[in-house]
Structure 1
């Protein structure tokens, strides 16, 4: 039996944007999610990690690899946020995703780079591969799965209490 692509009906409920991102960052997120979907990955935005930090976007590859994508919508956004090194212990690969209006030169050269808009994205520089330990992979994958299932539960029953939250 082969895996077939998951088709999303236009009749299914749509999640509202969470409002934390600028319009530019939301567009970049959409483009990156489209790219990773084409690559066979599934993604979830705003995933809270065990260290309390929240990854802008996490992707789970068909082979179980975990990828974190940190979205930077402007020079000011990049300069103001120095939390991104705290994400690298929770993924096999780490990318920055930017719109084409952000100069590439401000980003570290030793990290992956994606340029995106709301219609799509392109990987400009591959991320280094740093495999997670088995225990960390299991913990992060479980967190990913629970977060994704919680979203589906909330779509099916918006008034449900999930993990003590309405």
Structure 2
């Protein structure tokens, strides 16, 4: 029987071996979704509630940063992690500024470090969800308060 409420992680990488390795390592602890491109990852996001996104930077057609930048408006809640095998500081800067990443890791990834990063990223995700819910409640409360004040003024 599968453990309910697993953290849902989307791993995006153009190297199929990396997708298989990631899934093999983390499939028991997390619900792992994979995509071989940014385009495929967008389809996965449209059909699943994803908590954490991990993407490789260097991919054909769309880099990891471009992918993260493209999804921000439609999928603002998932926490983002960028992986790259290259020490490309420009990519890191772009990822922070444009892709709103939570964390940057180098490839090949260390299983323990990546696991801890996913756990921390999920905590950030939960905080964003809680904040969104609280803001929604405050909006309703403000509308109710405004209604009561108008009623008082009219009477």
Q: What TM-score does the superposition give when structure 2 sets the normalisation length?
A: 0.41
Larger relative strand fraction: 1
The one of the two structures with greater contact order (alpha-carbon pairs below 8 A, sep at least 6) is 1
Higher Cα Rg, which structure? 2
Larger relative helix fraction: 2
Q: What TM-score does the superposition give when structure 1 sets the normalisation length?
A: 0.39
